[in-house]
Chains A and B, each alone.
Chain A
Amino acid sequence: MSTNVESWADVASMGAIYPFPGIEWVLAIVGVVIWLAWHAWQIKSENAEYDAALRHYNEVGLEAALDHRGRHDAMVD
């Protein structure tokens, strides 16, 4: 069983009613890892995006990039 609840007969005496009570420390660590990993991924992804944009602008010239404003299609991705 994933939960310590088998009946709602005495709800006034109940405490935590989420699944797997007792693993709060594990959940805390999982959440922190997800948070920090998301930052790491976002930083890497965003910087790669700017690097690609700079490479492209260097190839086609910044004037072309300025002319591209207002176009629906993304210039690089």
Chain B
Amino acid sequence: MSGQLDSLMVIFTEFYYWVTVVLMFLIHVGFCVYEVGASRRKNIQHTLMKNTMLIPLVTVTFFYFGWWIYFAFPHFPMMGGFLDAPWAVPWSELMGTHMGGAITVQTESMNAADHGWWARINGVFWAAFLLFSWTTASIVSGAVIERIKTQAFLILVVLVGSCTWIIDAAWGWSWNGWMVQLWGFHDAYASSVVHGIAGGSALGVLVVLGPRLGKFAPDGTPRDIPQNNPWLVTVGLFLIYTGFWGFYAACNIPIIDFEGVVMGSDKEAFFTATNIYLTPTSLSAITFNFLMSLSGGLMAGYVLSKGDPFWSYSGGLAGVITASAGNDLYHPVEAMVIAMVGVWIAYKMHHWVERKFKIDDAVGAVAVHGYAGFAGTVIAGFMLWGYPSNVAYEATGWFGNVDGVAQINPIGNFLGAVLMFWGLGFLPCWLLAKLLDGLGWLRVPREVELAGLDTHDYGDAFPYHGYRDTAMEDIDREIAKGQG
């Protein structure tokens, strides 16, 4: 590093991403708390360990190939082959403690200044993306609780957390991704890039996995399986809200000379934050819009569920997720209204899909993340129609151009939402789940599920609290006798 301003910018950026990582940890804490609260007492510890162990497995695999995919895949296959990413391969010196002085990695895509930059930023930037990976994989976790084998889940999360989501990020969530360059795709805070693909992935697994025993009565009517601790569920969702501050901040580049570095002009330097596409926004903008979309979501969730805590809190989350695609640019009131629309769609879709297709999404993850994310991406295509999608001037957009680059448009965003939910979400997970099912690795044995996943191994999670049967215990007994 040389020059005081450059040095300060690099160290500020390093610290900024590090703080986002700490905050995003709370998302995973929230997911674990929420799933433990949502599962029945007989399954608590299995549920907790399933979601906890995705942390090391996604981390290790994201170190080995996830990070490289993000930088190598932006043009592949629509605009060319793999890009050179020497700082992101696991055998690079820059994937370790490095001062940036001795230049050991130098290619056409990386000069001495880049070397110094990556030496400082690589670890924190990697970790910020890694925490998105945990989130994406963890969204799947809640949907499949109480009957999936841990082994299957931990293989599926490697696919989702270190392969498919990061491919969609390379394509649609980087300044040079082909979806951005050709389709004008825009999803600044990851409505589809994280949430849509996670919802689609969860749905793909659920179709193969099937519902929990007793979820549907013999006539097909869905039963309400009571959560062991509804208050813990809401605390978990509150923690997820808190972690979302880090998620949003990590989607930005905190400081850059927009005129000089991004636009390449010789005008006076103009320092601003940008989104991941290098187009301008600010922390103030996303703070306004995060809080207004959270509020809209909470209000809509409360109205739709008549004050049910689980769906009101989930509404807050779904509201943020719906507005996220355009929360870099929306007016706060637009963000609030869009959030309300998304929550209505997610709530109605969840119950319709459950009744119609007998899909047992235990925590509404497909709805809150998948349907809301999909809807938000499509809405952003209309709301932001005409903005330049990027500043890179690498290709001509298919669905209209402005200022020399692809413009944001409804077709591009709709196609992107479909590709992420169905193409990169549902399909790969459905195929892998079919394979795992064929191997006998997907679902726990029927008897183990009925007795509870903790019963044979962990024992009860609350040894000093009496056990009280609910209607579901009676249903378990009927199923055990072949009558449920």
Where the two chains meet, the residues of A that have a C-beta atom closer than 8 Å to any C-beta of B are 10-18, 21, 24-25, 27-28, 31-32, 34-35, 38-39, 42-43, 46-47, 49-50, 52-54, 56-57, 62-63, 65-66, 68-77
What residues of chain A lie closer than 8 Å to B92, measured between beta carbons?
24
What residues of chain A lie closer than 8 Å to B150, measured between beta carbons?
42, 46
What's the tally of chain B residues with a CB closer than 8 Å to chain A? 51
**Chain A, residue nearest B94 (CB):** A16
What residues of chain B lie closer than 8 Å to A73, measured between beta carbons?
459
Report the Cα distance A14→B151, complex, angstroms: 43
Is A54 a contact partner of B97 (Cβ separation < 8 A)? Answer: no
Interface of B is mostly: loop
- Residue among A14, A18, A70, A75 making CB contact with B101, cutoff 8 Å: A14
Q: Tell whether A46 pairs with B459 under 8 Å between CB atoms, given A13-B101, A62-B450, A69-B473.
A: no
The minimal Cβ–Cβ distance linking A54 to chain B, given in whole angstroms, is 6
Instruction: Say whether B476 faces chain A, with CB atoms less than 8 Å apart.
Output: yes
Is B457 a contact partner of A74 (Cβ separation < 8 A)? Answer: yes
Q: Tell whether A70 pairs with B151 under 8 Å between CB atoms, given A14-B101, A16-B98, A75-B455.
A: no
**Chain A, residue nearest B463 (CB):** A72
As a 0/1 sequence over residues 150 to 167 of chain B, the CB contacts with chain A under 8 angstroms (1 = contact) are 110011000000000000
Report the Cα distance A77→B458, complex, angstroms: 8
**Chain B, residue nearest A76 (CB):** B456
Report the Cα distance A70→B61, complex, angstroms: 37
What residues of chain A lie closer than 8 Å to B41, measured between beta carbons?
69-70
- Residue among A10, A52, A70 making CB contact with B460, cutoff 8 Å: A70
Report the Cα distance A63→B480, complex, angstroms: 8
- Residue among A32, A47, A72 making CB contact with B459, cutoff 8 Å: A72
As a 0/1 sequence over residues 457 to 484 of chain B, the CB contacts with chain A under 8 angstroms (1 = contact) are 1111001001100000100110010000
As a 0/1 sequence over residues 117 to 151 of chain B, the CB contacts with chain A under 8 angstroms (1 = contact) are 00100000000000000000000000000000111
Instruction: Say whether B99 faces chain A, with CB atoms less than 8 Å apart.
Output: yes
The minimal Cβ–Cβ distance linking B64 to chain A, given in whole angstroms, is 6
What residues of chain A lie closer than 8 Å to B456, measured between beta carbons?
49, 52-53, 56-57, 65, 74-77
Report the Cα distance A35→B158, complex, angstroms: 11
